Amino acid sequence: KRKIAVMTSGGDAPGMNGAVRAVVRMAIAKGCDAFCIHEGYDGLVKGGDMIKKTEWDDVRGYLAEGGTLIGTARCAAFRERWGRLKAAKNLIEKGIDALIVCGGDGSLTGADLFRKEWPSLLAELVEKKELTAEQTEGHGNLNIVGLVGSIDNDMCSTDATIGCYSSLHRICDSVDCIADTAQSHQRAFVVEVMGRHCGWLALMSAISTGADFLFIPEVPPARDWKKGMCNIITEHRKMGKRTTIVIVAEGAQDLDLKKISPEDVRKLLAEELGLDTRVTTLGHVQRGGQPCAYDRMLSTLQGADAVNAVLEATPETPSPVISIIENKIVRNPLVQAVQLTQQVADTIARKEFDKALHLRDSEFAE
Ligand code: ATP
């Protein structure tokens, strides 16, 4: 019987539980044994009870739960070869040679490195007599499949990551609440939203709430943005608007890569336009709570396809990441997706903003 393990890693995202549930149940439906690795790579390195055989009923009710019920962690040990040696030993001892990882680009990079090293890790464990040659027999390759779980929607190769739409809904709800106060008092609010180096959450929430102005890392504002922003907001007020909402992505920066701080924007609106202005940092509210319908659907379809990808893999197949492109669940090479994501970040860091935007859409668009 094939043994397939699933884990969540990196920052939690709504929908991760749906992915775990789908993997467990699809694996069982296909005649495999399913295992959950608890607490991300930490659990993989610790082994024992952290790698638990999981039955159909164990994941009942998972679909509607936020966060990740099997836990996640940042794990320094897995970045080291000794940590990956322990992880390989723990998997082989349970007869597992397929691992489905739901996490961000860091987690997926680690997973692919683990796959590349797998044969040499097993050889070293046998040489050190930590495993017998019989134990490793038939497990010469490790199948890795990636699922992108992140609220940031910052991964190339997919139109949406598991969690990003739930987070977007939460931001919209929060801005709607803030707008009530803004409307009542004619106030301005500067709202900082998450997304790390990616402006997707900020951009989509600005569109969805009809914000007055927006700052995102990929498209820094013009050099005279202060004047430009004040003019636009003055115009909006003249048109009878009682509220002002400015959305600032946490990674927002100007053309010189200097961080745009919500506090600076607040001061500007207060001092230049005389608006009673407050800053609201939404923080972790954006990460928690129930997954929206889209994330339940996405995580379920992708989790099920991840199991199919394991069962269809040959030693030559590169590790896939399960994506969604133009509403179709598709598989892309994991390494290529991670490298392209990194390339976009590097291009922005070199201030080649137009090139970065083009890059993000290029490779996987066809
Ligand atoms: P998020 O986008 O939410 O931050 P992430 O998956 O990118 O998620 P990271 O903290 O970068 O989060 O990675 C999670 C874990 O994956 C790390 O704690 C580490 O154990 C493992 N990992 C990350 N990068 C590597 C790497 N290059 N080699 C080995 N393991 C890695």
Would you say the CB of residue 113 lies under 6 angstroms from ligand 1? Answer: yes
CB count in 10 Å sphere of residue 84:
22
CA of 111 to the centre of ligand 1 (A): 9
Q: Tens digit of pLDDT per residue, the chain (366 long)?
A: 999 999 999 999 999 999 999 999 999 999 999 999 999 999 999 999 999 999 999 999 999 999 999 999 999 999 999 999 999 999 999 999 999 999 998 999 999 999 999 999 999 999 999 999 999 999 999 999 999 999 999 999 899 999 999 999 999 999 999 999 888 989 999 999 999 999 999 999 999 999 999 999 999 999 999 999 999 999 999 999 999 999 999 999 999 999 999 999 999 999 999 999 999 999 899 999 999 999 999 999 999 999 999 999 988 888 999 999 999 999 999 999 999 998 988 999 899 988 888 887 765 544
Q: Looking at residue 187, what DSSP letter applies?
A: -
Q: Kindly indicate whether the ipTM for this predicted assembly is greater than 0.85, answering yes or no.
A: yes
Would you say the CB of residue 106 lies under 6 angstroms from ligand 1? Answer: yes
Would you say the CB of residue 109 lies under 6 angstroms from ligand 1? Answer: yes
Q: Looking at residue 251, what DSSP letter applies?
A: T
Report pLDDT for 365: 47
Report pLDDT for 363: 59
Residue ranges at the known binding site: 11, 74-75, 104-107, 150-152, 187, 194-196, 250, 278, 284-287
DSSP line for 164-226? HHHHHHHHHHHHHHHHHHHHHHT-EEEEEE--TT--HHHHHHHHHHT-SEEE-SSSPPPTTHH
**Active-site residue 152, yes or no?**
yes
CA dihedral of residues 176, 182, 183, 186 (deg, nearest 10): -160
Report pLDDT for 364: 59
CA of 276 to the centre of ligand 1 (A): 41
What residue owns the CA closest to ligand 1's atom 26?
110
> Residues 6 or more apart from 277 whose CB is under 8 A from it?
187, 188, 189, 190, 244, 266, 269, 270
CA of 7 to the centre of ligand 1 (A): 13
Residue of 12, 33, 42, 152 marked active site? 152
> Residues 6 or more apart from 267 whose CB is under 8 A from it?
none
